[in-house]
Amino acid sequence: MYKNKIFRLILSFLFAILFCHAAFAASNIALTSAGQSPDAMMVKVVLKKMDVEVDFDSAMDPAAIKDNHKVLIVVVGGSSKGLGAAGIDQDQEKARIEEILKIANEKGLKILVMHVGGASRRGTLSDLFLDTVVPHADYVIYVKGANEDGYFTKVSEEKKIPVEESETIRALDEHLKKVLGEWGVI
């Protein structure tokens, strides 16, 4: 009886250690929005379905980029409503993103830029953020429809940045597995 209690106690202790380690394990991927659209949350959901944990904050403070991060995913989509809800304007958002990119570059993070809103999420506001973020990208993934004006094709050729088109948001997992796998973070 006494041995059984000790065994259960030890087993419980081991499970607690494993659980705590998993619960507090730091992600090596930071995920944020550029433009405050809900698109970054959609990417977070896709990653969660892939069992990939990320440090997500749509309005991530630049100081939140930590040494354990290996990849920064920036999901671009300008939303006046989202900016208003965050209490910032496009200039403040652009400055925040520029500072995050600066820190990510200094720390040697790979930068994945995503545009998942298709044609409906392209426009002057989104393009402002695309022009800010894409030159820093190591890779770009966009959802079909976003390249109707050839923006991503042109950037890919000019900047020598690999670019992939996803048929749908649901199909993003294939592209994410490829890129994040090549970068050794999943």
Q: pLDDT per residue over 89-129, tens digit each?
A: 999 999 999 999 999 999 999 999 999 998 888 999 999 99
The pLDDT value recorded for residue 121 is 83
Class of the domain covering 26-182: alpha beta
The pLDDT value recorded for residue 71 is 98
DSSP letter, residue 117: S
Give the helix ranges, DSSP H, for 25-89. Answer: 39-49, 80-86
Break the chain into its structural domains and give their ranges: 26-182
For residue 34, give the nearest of 83, 69, 81 by alpha carbon. 83
Residue 87 clears pLDDT 60, i.e. is over it: yes
Q: Characterize 21-51 residue by residue with b for buried, 16 or more Cβ atoms within 10 angstroms of its Cβ, and e for exposed.
A: eeeeeebbbbbbbbbbbbbbebbbebbeeee
Tens of pLDDT, residue by residue over 69-85, are 999 999 999 999 999 99
The pLDDT value recorded for residue 79 is 94
